[in-house]
């Protein structure tokens, strides 16, 4: 094995709008190897396997070492640099999508503290990043598998979050709800079904969603379905009725009205506009 190495994979088509992997890899850096100053247009998590280095962002310099994790926020200027004596080795995953920011809000990362020392379950997080790397490929099935493994990795950060107890239980209720929605959105599930699965009352679930995500479970469920609708309208030749059925709407007229309210145009118009 050479003294330093770099294995990385970059996705060419970002297929999934809710969450998709942008790039993934692992690297043993040369002494003083530096990235930046520069910005990324996506979120980027680095888990430090061993060694040391510095991460500079927003006028702060953080000295980090094996077992720590740091997060690069989109469109934020950063510099990270390997130590001269003991350069770091890290694994990383870059990702984007409308679910990313709200999932990260349920972890211990924040723009004020964009790192986690002695990351809880760090070995599991490292393993999940390698699983994402193993699932790489540019077919749609690869995108789905990489995203599934990314959700699992982000869930580990949510499990390890040290927010106040009530916030922690709210996080776990929201996380369970998101898992349930992503597995069952194609059925005619309701907020009552989600609350029943999580094991809390509808009002308790509502308060948890408001606290963690700033929106209601119903809004989240509708948004989730509409994102899938956009994907199917762009990438499949299914009829509007078939898409409505695939998303748990038993009435294609109600689906079209909901879509129009969210997107300002009918499903048919959206398909024509985004296919041209």
CATH of the domain at 50: 2.60.120.280
- Shared domain for 154 and 185, answered yes or no, is no
> Alpha-carbon distance 212 to 174, whole Å?
7
pLDDT tens digit string along 92-124? 999 988 788 878 888 888 888 899 999 988 999
Please report the pLDDT score of residue 215 as a whole number.
Answer: 87
Q: What pLDDT score does 16 carry?
A: 53
Q: To which residue do tokens 């997107």 refer?
A: 263
**Maximum C-alpha span of the chain:** 65
Q: What is the pLDDT of residue 235?
A: 85
Output DSSP code: residue 9: E
pLDDT of residue 137: 80
Q: What is the CATH number of the domain that holds 271?
A: 1.10.10.60
Whether residues 177 and 132 fall in one domain: no
What is the phi-psi region of residue 184: left when phi exceeds 0, alpha when psi lies from -120 to 50, beta otherwise?
Answer: alpha
Asked whether 194 and 188 are in contact (CB, 8 A), the reply is no
Do 127 and 252 sit in the same domain of this protein?
Answer: no
Task: Report how far residue 111's alpha carbon sits from residue 55's, in angstroms, rounded to the nearest whole number.
Answer: 13
What Å distances lie between residue 170 and 49, 88, 206, CA to CA?
Answer: 31, 35, 10
The pLDDT score that the predictor gives to residue 88 is: 95
List, for the chain, all residue ranges whose pLDDT scores fall below the cut of 70. Answer: 1-5, 9-17, 162-168, 276
Task: Kindly report, residue by residue over 160-180, the tens digit of the pLDDT.
Answer: 776 544 456 777 788 889 888
Structural domain boundaries, residue 252: 166-276
- Give the three-state DSSP class for 96: strand
Q: Look at residue 135 in the predicted model and tell me its pLDDT.
A: 87
Beta carbons of 119 and 159 less than 8 angstroms apart: no
Same domain for 153 and 190, yes or no, is no
pTM: 0.61
Counting the structural domains of the chain, the total is 2
Residue 1 has what pLDDT?
Answer: 45
Query: What pLDDT, on a 0 to 100 scale, did the predictor assign at position 147?
Result: 87
What is the pLDDT at residue 164?
44
Q: Are residues 132 and 19 in the same domain?
A: yes
- Rounded to 10 degrees, the C-alpha dihedral 105/109/114/117 comes to 180
Contact at 8 Å (CB) between 43 and 95? Answer: yes
């Amino acid at each position: 094995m050479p003294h330093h190495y770099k294995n990385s994979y970059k996705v060419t088509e970002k297929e999934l709008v809710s969450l998709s992997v942008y790039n993934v890899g692992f690297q043993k850096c040369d002494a003083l190897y530096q990235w930046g100053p520069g910005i990324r247009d996506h979120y980027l998590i680095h888990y430090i396997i061993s060694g040391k280095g510095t991460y500079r962002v927003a006028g702060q310099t953080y000295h980090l070492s094996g077992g720590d994790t740091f997060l690069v926020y989109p469109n934020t200027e950063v510099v990270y640099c390997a130590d001269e004596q003991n350069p770091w080795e890290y694994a990383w995953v870059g990702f984007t999508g409308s679910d990313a920011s709200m999932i990260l809000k349920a972890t211990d990362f924040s723009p004020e503290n964009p790192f986690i020392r002695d990351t809880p379950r760090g070995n599991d997080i490292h393993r999940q990043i390698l699983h994402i790397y193993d699932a790489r490929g540019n077919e749609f099935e690869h995108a789905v598998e990489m995203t599934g493994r990314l959700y699992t990795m982000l869930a580990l950060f949510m499990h390890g979050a040290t927010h106040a107890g009530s916030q922690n239980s709210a996080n776990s209720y929201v996380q369970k709800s998101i898992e349930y929605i992503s597995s069952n959105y194609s059925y005619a599930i309701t907020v009552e079904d989600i609350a029943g699965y999580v094991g809390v009352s509808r009002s308790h679930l509502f308060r948890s969603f408001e606290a963690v995500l700033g929106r209601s479970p119903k809004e989240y469920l509708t948004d989730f379905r509409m994102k899938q609708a956009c994907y199917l309208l762009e990438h499949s030749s299914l009829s509007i009725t078939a898409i409505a059925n695939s998303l748990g709407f038993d009435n294609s007229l109600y689906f079209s009205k909901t879509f129009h309210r969210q997107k300002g145009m009918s499903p048919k118009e959206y398909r024509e506009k985004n296919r041209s």
